[in-house]
Amino acid sequence: MQKLKLYGFKGACSFVPHTALNLTGVDYDLQLISHADAKKPDYLAKNPQGTVPLLAIEADDFYLAQNVAILHYLDEKFPQVHIFGKGSDKQKAKAHQWLSYANADVHKAFLPLFDAGAFIDDKDLQPKVAEKAQQRVIEIFKIANDNLADKDYMSGEFTIADVYLYVTLRWAHLLKLDLSGYRNLAKLINNVESQPAVQKSLREEGLDVIS
């Protein structure tokens, strides 16, 4: 099998396929790059979007961007790992639903908090944009917190969807968002951080636990 290589930023959404690769147990290369590196010509030749994650089989000139696409590829390539769970078709479908929620809803809601200037040029209004985004993030996390009222993981068992949600919760922690009322999310953080593959990813990216 050709060796896989993953490009990512420290603590970014690339932590999700990083953990998926650790779940597989295969030998792979992890390349943590800077935001500046992602805009250099050699990287843009591999991924014109200049984003992470990027999964590569460089010997085959194969480059795959976008989290959902990468996770689908890894699930197909390593079905025995069950990154979307070992349960029924319905359970796996729910895992995909929660992955989409984390990727398309929660992640997207954070973008104005990271760079309000990308949404509005008026610097006087940027704090208002960030404030509104903060409210939106807190509101959207309530959906996950409510879902976890009777379960330890989003679809009932640990899947890669929980890892994506965990990454966004790390961002909330970094930005000091007040999620103190969401006790089920605090429980999820602890549960995800107890997973060996997640612990390995944290060590490899030089990240501390937040539970």
Write down the domain spans for the chain. 4-81, 89-205
SS3 27: coil
Q: How many CB atoms lie within 10 A of CB 149?
A: 8
Computed over every residue of the chain, the mean pLDDT equals: 95
* 49-86: pLDDT as tens digits: 999 999 999 889 999 999 999 999 999 999 999 999 99
Q: Give the global pTM.
A: 0.95
- For 56, counting Cβ atoms within 10 Å of its Cβ (0-12 exposed, 13-18 middle, 19+ buried), the class is buried
CATH assignment, 89-205:
1.20.1050.10
CATH of 4-81, one of 3.30.360.10, 3.90.1010.10, 3.40.47.10, 3.40.30.10: 3.40.30.10
- pLDDT above 90 (res 11): yes
The whole-angstrom separation of Cα 74 and Cα 71 is 5
Percentage with pLDDT > 90 across the chain: 88
The whole-angstrom separation of Cα 51 and Cα 23 is 23
Tokens of 81: 């790992």
- pLDDT above 80 (res 1): no
Tokens of 150: 């009777």
* 147-204: pLDDT as tens digits: 999 999 999 999 999 999 999 999 999 999 999 999 999 999 999 999 999 999 999 9
DSSP string across 190-204: HHHHTSHHHHHHHHH
